[in-house]
Amino acid sequence: MKLSFAKQDKPRSRIVLGAAVAALLPGLAQAQQAGGASGIEEILVTAQRREERLQDVPIAISAISAEQIERRRIDNVLDLKSLAPNLMVSRYPNSNVVSQVAIRGGVTVNAAMYWEPSTGMYLDGVYLGKAVGSVFDVVDIERIEVLRGPQGTLYGRNTMAGAVNLITRKPSGEFSGSATVELGNYDHRVEKFSVDLPKVGIARMSFGVRSESRDGLVDLESGSPGTELDSRDNFGARFALGLDISDCVVADYRFDYTDVDQMPPHSQLYSVTPSNALFTAAAAYASREREDSVATNWPGYEQLELKGHALTLGWDINDTNTLKSITSYRDLRNDDSVDLDGVPLTIATANRISDYDQTSQELQWIGSTSRLHYVLGLYYYEDDGYTINPHVFFFGTDSSQYGFGAEAMAAYAQFDFRATDALTLTAGLRYTDEDKDTERYKTVTGAGAPIARVEADASFSDTTPMASAAYRFSDQLNVYLKYSEGFKSGGFMGEAGNAVEAVTPYDPEEQSTWEVGAKMSSADGQLQLNTAAFHNEIDDMHVNQFTGLPGVSVVRNAGQATTQGVEIEGIWLPTDALRLQLSYGYLDAEWDEFMEAPAVGQPISNVADNRSFPHAPEHTLNLMADARLAQTAWGELRALADYSYTASFYAYAYQLETIDTRRATAGNTEVDAYGLLNLRLSLSEIPVGGPGSAEFTLWARNVTDEQDPVNFIDFGPGFFSNYTLAYFQEPRTYGASFSYRW
């Protein structure tokens, strides 16, 4: 199933049109009358470090409630996909435990741990420092908030594109719980259990576990090492403790644990230029259609163990002032092996053995007066890691290793002043100082030059302001204008191909954003419509480039870029029995400056007109219908249809037209537009006796069985043969689940 959108020559006029539509739509919302619906549920968010109604926050934010998380089967960040406008979430090409999150064209496409994401991910207020390990099952998740645009004041570190907040449920202090068993094709199996214990003294406790297993989506043929690829075998657990120390002092401790031991995705050879006998032999295995049975000659596996601790202390000094401390420690071990060439020949293999830990401490003072809200904060973050990354190539081996570390300190303040009953003015400022260090070592046999162990360090700092004005025309209409800046510090290229490059830092990435938005709802509460238009200017954007040298992928500062677009989110309840939901994002992303030699022997110049913008589809769309079909003595029968569409996009910032034969061409790794349809039919509130009720569900994902590539790795001409690997959309899956809640 595919949708198509006609392109226009004047994208900027679309933004103006979008803003005009945003101004006109409130009248439609006010006029909309549908009988019988009880109204859209009110969602409270903490995007500004205090609890507020979603419709009151002058930020482009999407919030997914616990009910929607359950109905749409959102188990981890990958399931967000395009649920928010201009949001793309996908797996890193050769790993099932690494996510690529792109918001409004801001993305980090490399999974190496010396890279840092462009979108900040937070779990119960704790920043998660790396993309590796970001695909984990969050047990007892209560709400997900997706903040679009720079969040440089209140969130700070690496929130250039935005932030994703995962908020788990606090222990209730009352005995309750749930248990779920889920079965599906490919021998898919999930068991979930969660329980809240009765309050004992000042203590409230809850814990939950989730176990998942699934056979591989790709079978390995006889003679290959192993039997399958792209399997699932993971376990997640969570423990939460709340201590009501006094009427004004509360302590909340969280522990999360993830253990993964499964097979990685198949790196399917998509295309290759036969340049010698070996690559001619490899070309016989190339296919542009998804293969479900393949042969390899290198063992694959992915293992990850993640432990996270977080302690939040809250002291209500009085009715209007609260002091909060958030202390965290996270420890990660990752070990994987991939057959990078995807064929039963020794062309390229890789292992990654990583050890990483992070510590953070944040202090917040949150308060208010009759007309002023304020947040003051101090933040400290430290991480340290080391990766052993050996490769075996057709011409030899390397023993690539790199260490990385960061120490960051920040101070911030934000003030919201209610100038009148309708007008609120906001100003914020954050100062960040980061120290980065690196260690690089590499030996090579067969090709390339070794790197004796080298070390370096560098410091980066920036001040990021924000200002906004929000005007409430009525209880049903809020509009806002916002200016904000984001900062992503520089660093070192852990996989650098020579000693000089290894100790030479790349520059920070900076972004400034203008945004105008409107949040609207009908007087009867049955229609809600939020719109935003934005304009981003990005300096020194970090892009990934394969050099063709063995095991070398480097960070480049790509000059200047502009991204802009329009976002629409809507919810309509025509009746109590039907919920309709829309999310649409339009994105225009282009380079203004990309300095590179256009061809051999030519001087460095601006080649922006001939460079693709990575992970920036022009259109993203999500449509959802959730209907109550019948209310019976056996329970409530409901059906849900969830459709998402992503327009075509490029995987890397490569040349659009092949002018320089030394460099890769973007069209080789262009992902075609695709749509995904998920369906669900459930019977809930089934009276089965005892203190609770049951639910039985039939579900199917990717119903139309779309099986096109959704990501690529292109080694480029520097790897002798334009070797390109494809990673495909998961095929149709289906199954049933049974839950009991009390």
> What are 217-236's pLDDT values in tens digits?
999 999 999 999 999 999 99
**Do residues 488 and 408 lie in contact, with contact meaning Cβ atoms separated by under 8 Å?**
no
* Strand order from edge to edge, sheet including 228-229: 228-229, 218-220, 293-294
Q: Where are the alpha helices (DSSP H) in 40-88?
A: 66-71
What's phi and psi for 554, nearest 5 deg?
A: -120, 160
Is 50 exceeded by the pLDDT of residue 16? no
Residue ranges of E strands in 49-133: 52-53, 61-64, 87-91, 99-103, 119-123, 126-128
In Å, how far are 400, 404, 452, 504, 736 from 440, measured between CA atoms?
A: 8, 9, 8, 12, 49
Length of the chain equals 742
pLDDT of res. 543: 86
Q: Which residues, in sequence order, are CB contacts of 499 under 8 Å at separation 6+?
A: 440, 451, 452, 454
For residues 575 and 603, give the distance between their C-alpha atoms in angstroms, rounded to a whole number. Answer: 65
Task: Say if CB 93 and CB 713 are below 8 A apart.
Answer: yes
In a domain, 6, yes or no: no
Residue 612 included in any domain: yes
Per-residue confidence (pLDDT) for residue 612, from 0 to 100: 95
On the question of pLDDT at 337 being above 70, the answer is: yes
The string of pLDDT tens digits covering residues 363-374 is 999 999 999 999
Look at residue 214 in the predicted model and tell me its pLDDT: 98
Across the range 702-721, mean pLDDT stands at 89
Instruction: Read off the pLDDT of residues 454-475 as tens digits, 9 standing for 90 and up.
Output: 999 999 999 999 999 999 999 9
499-527 average pLDDT score: 94
Residue type, 592: D
Q: Is 430 a residue whose pLDDT tops 90?
A: yes
How far apart, in whole angstroms, are the C-alpha atoms of residue 712 and residue 714? 6
d(CA 418, CA 607): 47
Residue 21 pLDDT exceeds 50: no
pLDDT of residue 26: 39
Instruction: Give residue-wise pLDDT tens across range 610-651.
Output: 999 999 999 999 999 999 999 999 999 999 999 999 999 999
Q: Mean per-residue pLDDT for 9-13?
A: 39
Within-domain flag for 379? yes
d(CA 469, CA 216) in angstroms, rounded, equals: 52
User: Distance between CA atoms of 106 and 119, rounded to whole angstroms?
Assistant: 8
Q: Is the pLDDT of residue 47 over 60?
A: yes
d(CA 298, CA 351): 11
Q: What does the pLDDT average to over 273-286?
A: 92
- Euclidean distance between the first and final Cα of the chain, in Å? 40
Give the pLDDT band of residue 426 (cuts 50, 70, 90): very high
Q: Specify if 578 maps to a domain.
A: yes
CA atoms within 13 A on the CB side of 73: 21
Rounded CA-CA distance 412/376 in Å is 6
| pLDDT tens-digit map of 92-150 | 888 999 888 999 999 887 778 888 888 999 999 999 988 888 877 777 888 999 999 99
Side-chain-side CA neighbours of residue 69 (13 Å): 22
How far apart, in whole angstroms, are the C-alpha atoms of residue 375 and residue 368? 9
Read off the tokens for 603. Answer: 């001087």
The 10s digit of each residue's pLDDT in 573-606 is 999 999 999 999 999 999 999 988 777 778 889 9
Amino acid 133: pLDDT: 82
DSSP codes joined into one string, 589-601: EEEEE-EE-SSTT
- The Cβ of residue 645 has, within 10 Å, a number of other Cβ atoms equal to 22
Candidates 684, 549, 693; CA nearest to 626 is 684
pLDDT of residue 548: 58
Cα angle value 505/506/510 (rounded, 5°): 135
Can you say whether the dihedral through the CA atoms of 473, 478, 479, 485 is positive or negative? positive
pLDDT at 429 over 80: yes
Give the integer Cα–Cα distance in Å for 173 and 73: 26
Burial of 147 (0-12, 13-18, 19+ CB in 10 A): buried
Q: In what order do the strands lie in the sheet with 126-128?
A: 61-64, 141-148, 162-168, 119-123, 126-128
The Cα–Cα gap between 514 and 424 comes to: 17
Name the 3-class secondary structure at 389.
strand
**Does 716 reside within a domain?**
yes
- pLDDT band for position 549 (50/70/90)? low
Proportion of the chain above pLDDT 90, given as a percent: 72
Can you give the pLDDT at residue 547? 64
pLDDT number for residue 657? 94
The overall average pLDDT reported for the chain is 90
Number of structural domains in the chain: 1
Residue 288: inside a domain: yes
Taking only Cα atoms into account, the Rg of the chain, rounded to an integer number of angstroms, comes to 26
Could you tell me the two tokens for 732?
Answer: 């149709």
User: What one-character-per-residue DSSP string does 144-197 give?
Assistant: EEEEES--TTTT-TT-SSEEEEEEEPPP-SS-EEEEEEEEETTTEEEEEEEEEP
Q: Is residue 253 part of a domain?
A: yes
Residue showing tokens 């075609």: 672
| Rounded percentage of the chain residues whose pLDDT exceeds 70 | 94
CATH number for 227: 2.40.170.20
Separation between Cα atoms, residue 529 and residue 519, nearest integer Å: 6
Write the pLDDT tens digit of every residue in 552-578: 677 888 889 999 999 999 999 999 999
The band of 717, judged by pLDDT with boundaries at 50, 70 and 90, is confident
What tens digit of pLDDT does each residue of 147-195 get?
999 988 898 788 989 999 999 999 999 999 999 999 999 999 999 999 9
3-state class (DSSP) for residue 202: coil
Q: What is the pLDDT of residue 550?
A: 53
Check whether 84 has a pLDDT greater than 70: yes
Q: What is the pLDDT of residue 551?
A: 55
Range of the domain at 438: 11-741
Residue 3 lies in a domain: no
